[in-house]
Chains A and B, each alone.
Chain A
Amino acid sequence: MANATLGGFSDAAKYLNAEAQRLRTEQQEAVTFSRQPCFDELWEAWQPCKEANWDGEGADPIEHETYQNAYRLIEALPSGLPSPTIAAEPDGHLSFEWYKHPRRLLSVSISPDGTLYWAALVGSEDPRGSCHFFDEFPKTLLYWIARVCIEC
């Protein structure tokens, strides 16, 4: 019934549709805004590493595709979860890290082809693996971010 009303042509329906769209936009902007420092950090990590040998020891350049994959991964990170710290890796990957202390952390390495390699260390647990990123934040990583950052 509600859908029928929203789908109609009355002034009320038009108003409700516009209001729903405005709220969706505001929500999206709020998420984007809250992640802005993370996007900034990604940019700063990428800039000095776009050329080969940026580490003085033969490092691969961080390709634009890798930057884009990392950007989309931040966009896909559900609101309410902490942002990672970001760094370049000499094999041309970008790494995201969620860290509490040296034995409670999650490292995720993002490759140019969108493969995510990850490893966590939570006390005596040391899970690791890889998965492909298809715009939806991998549930396995959500679980380990929660284990690292939220769980007491």
Chain B
Amino acid sequence: MLDPNNIPPVADDELLARFIVNSNEKRDDGSVRPNLFLPYKLTALSVTRHRETTDQEIWNIGRQVAAQRVKTLYGRADIRASSCRIEPLDVVESWQVENPNHADIVGYPPRKDEQLSLAEKLAAAIEGSWIGTPSDQDGSGVTT
């Protein structure tokens, strides 16, 4: 995990994880639905940086996120920071005590149709397929 006392800015080539905690945020063909990248109330969207983190640590953070929301962790979608930096969006470090690798996709406009359009582009830009939670035994997860 990143050192909380030395959090670097998010570089363009960094991989970011967005956790899937609602079944309607993923599709059977391995893609994700735009609603995975729709912000609500806050005009920012939480992601977790892969930088200096093991896969196990990423999944542990995902399990914490799901537990806090009393939801099932279905998996995660990974996306490059550069793919998120489409006008007017940006990615900024936003470390938290429980997750020093936390970052936010910021800059969503208030109009719903503009948000939908950006969410469609982010959903189309994930790296490969969404990845099922390792302990997922029901076969619904897509592993890469």
Contact = CB atoms under 8 A, between A and B. Distances in A.
Interface residues of A, number: 31
A91 B120 contact: no
A109 B24 contact: no
B113 A103 contact: no
A57 B45 CA distance: 12
A59 B31 contact: no
Interface in A1-49: 45
Contact of A129 (B24, B113, B121): B113
A55 B116 contact: no
Given A45-B24, A88-B24, A89-B38, A119 B116 contact: yes
Contacts of A105: 34, 120
Given A90-B38, A107-B116, A121-B121, A56 B70 contact: yes
Chain A interface main SS type: strand
A128 B117 contact: yes
Interface string B27-39: 1010101110010
Interface of B: 21-22, 24, 27, 29, 31, 33-35, 38, 40-41, 68-71, 111-114, 116-117, 119-121, 123-124
* A-B pairs, 5 with minimum CB distance: A56-B69, A119-B116, A102-B124, A119-B117, A87-B24
Interface of A: 45, 55-59, 87-91, 93, 95, 97, 99, 101-103, 105, 107, 109, 111, 117-121, 126, 128-130
